[in-house]
Structure 1
């Protein structure tokens, strides 16, 4: 296959990706409800997370994917910032005319990563963490708002049509497409601490339909996933006729998962000590409480839907024993209902390699600092046939 030619053709084909109708899906009402998504277990890798490739956050090597596979994992989620792979003058904010100017060299970076993971037997979920006009995080000035500007919605559709064409030869066992990371409505896109609420249901539904149609026009076999509304926390209840899985989050309670994280708490040093289980305003937060938090997602599985926990984990400042106890309970609940998970992240401050935790006795692993206790905990649920 001439990959450079393939990538260029994908761009041309993607230009016609708007305005397609919804493809109906026929299911079997007599089938016993099971999770329609596989119980994938794995990690997020952040190679394309930073909008600027000159400030690449990390580089994942094929050895890393081999280690994942050897340890029993079968899944990697790849959250991408679209500016990483477009070509524009980075000395100023991106212009609307540049949002769809694809950089073939940067696309090769993504293709190479997917190929490496697939060679190691891992399924890849490609995700737009930053889409044209929206990201749950600040740190990059967008030329418009995805939820308010039709041009942004068209660009969103273009990008998914493009990636679906690039990977049209891949099977559903090799790749899936996670449309948009943690959708929410935020008045000030550039203020990390401005209030965030759910996207109006019909507006989010229209975005999902556009992405779904763009991807399925490239290949009917491609799996499509939509993150829950309101930062991944709320089940999407108006897309039942679409063959779309849903991705939830494993970050509740936030005081445990993001303890002292400066991008979450404005005064992180003023937080009280954290424990698990814990009392919060007179209510016990424990495994039963976690089961309540996941109840809508469990119900979706029981109704025949597909659910995967696309992000979960605890930041480096959460005491290690607290993080492990909480993760043990969370993964137990998910596994009981056949829901898989992807830790944020593999290599970094949430991960099992090089997390920078101060209360861990690391094991040297080919020059990396391995959190063996966390790996052992994760592998308990990898091998569980829940």
Structure 2
């Protein structure tokens, strides 16, 4: 289970004990159920993918944010150093930005990641560490394959299918009704082009780097038949590479529970109204 956490203070004090205690409880609940918990800093000192302009510093260029980021993860490492590696991993920062945005470069990202990994490993050398691809999780990071990290990609292409009427994404305006396969952003999208999209990720995996798809999903306004065709092709690509994946999200507009996609079929399962066709598809492609 991937747990997003937020760090909001403009002055970057230590994480609040009540918040850490809540993570303790969630971690205990996961371990009791045999679930792995991936702790993800969804809003970091100096960076968040949506609303970054509200941050007083820039994680990728400003030392105060970089110092706070490294210290935060070192503190997490110290708190949970006795938790087995199979029960807990650290996903350092959600979806770094596009190259060139507000001074963001591969070199700046690499420097922040290398420093933070060193801080964690000085305290807990065996903790599994996850890094998200650049440009919202889409771009592979061959420059960081020497660190023994798990590299986390995304499964949201083509955006015309997955983010139809998604108001937080500027590109949602003026999109046609979603179809799949489809023509979007200058290319034809089908199973073959999805494989092509992940070629850089296959290349780093071929060199021994572990790859995981940390998020994928389809927003609730895309018709269910369109979404299921797309899900099937995408999961086939993941299965071919034996990549694990995490659906965004369990319950909500992207979830296996709680979406309102036109044509969806739901059944009661253990107290939840579940999208049974999506659930069965996920189970069929379980890695």
Residues 285 and 77 from structure 1, CA distance in 2 versus in 1: closer, same or farther, beyond 3 angstroms? same
CA distance in 2, matches of 1:159, 1:335: 35
Cross-structure match for 1:325: 229
CA distance in 2, matches of 1:316, 1:255: 13
- Per the TM alignment, residue 341 of structure 1 is displaced from its structure 2 partner at its CA by 0.5
Residues 140 and 168 from structure 1, CA distance in 2 versus in 1: closer, same or farther, beyond 3 angstroms? farther
- Contact 2:14–2:72 under 8 Å retained in 1: no
Asked if 1:231 is matched to 2:136, the reply is yes
- Contact 2:160–2:184 under 8 Å retained in 1: no
Cross-structure match for 1:190: none
Cross-structure match for 1:95: 10
- Residue deviations 1:151-173, cap 9 Å, x none? 10000001101111111111121
- Contact 1:346–1:352 under 8 Å retained in 2: yes
Residues 303 and 103 from structure 1, CA distance in 2 versus in 1: closer, same or farther, beyond 3 angstroms? same
For 2:127, which of 209, 222, 234 is the aligned residue?
222
Residues 367 and 151 from structure 1, CA distance in 2 versus in 1: closer, same or farther, beyond 3 angstroms? same
Q: Number of aligned pairs? A: 287
User: Which ranges of structure 1 fall in alignment gaps of 5 or more residues?
Assistant: 1-75, 84-93, 188-195
Asked if 1:246 is matched to 2:161, the reply is no
Cross-structure match for 1:77: 2
Task: Answer 1 or 2: which has greater helix percent.
Answer: 2
- Per the TM alignment, residue 137 of structure 1 is displaced from its structure 2 partner at its CA by 0.9
- Per the TM alignment, residue 117 of structure 1 is displaced from its structure 2 partner at its CA by 1.0
Where do residues 274-293 of structure 1 align in structure 2 (5 Å cutoff)? 274-280=178-184, 283-293=187-197
Asked if 1:180 is matched to 2:84, the reply is no
For 2:249, which of 334, 340, 345 is the aligned residue?
345
Asked if 1:126 is matched to 2:39, the reply is yes
CA distance in 2, matches of 1:323, 1:302: 30
For 2:164, which of 238, 255, 259 is the aligned residue?
259
CA distance in 1, matches of 2:171, 2:148: 40
- Contact 1:199–1:230 under 8 Å retained in 2: no
For 1:113, which of 26, 30, 34 is the aligned residue?
26
Residues 289 and 154 from structure 1, CA distance in 2 versus in 1: closer, same or farther, beyond 3 angstroms? same
- Per the TM alignment, residue 102 of structure 1 is displaced from its structure 2 partner at its CA by 2.4
Q: Secondary structure at the match of 2:170?
A: coil
State TM-score, norm by structure 1: 0.70
Q: Secondary structure at the match of 2:154?
A: strand
- Per the TM alignment, residue 284 of structure 1 is displaced from its structure 2 partner at its CA by 3.0
Cross-structure match for 2:51: 138
- Per the TM alignment, residue 140 of structure 1 is displaced from its structure 2 partner at its CA by 8.1
User: Which ranges of structure 2 fall in alignment gaps of 5 or more residues?
Assistant: none
Cross-structure match for 1:374: 278
Q: Secondary structure at the match of 1:238?
A: helix
- Per the TM alignment, residue 344 of structure 1 is displaced from its structure 2 partner at its CA by 0.3
CA distance in 2, matches of 1:233, 1:367: 35
State TM-score, norm by structure 2: 0.93
Residues 334 and 173 from structure 1, CA distance in 2 versus in 1: closer, same or farther, beyond 3 angstroms? same
- Per the TM alignment, residue 308 of structure 1 is displaced from its structure 2 partner at its CA by 0.4
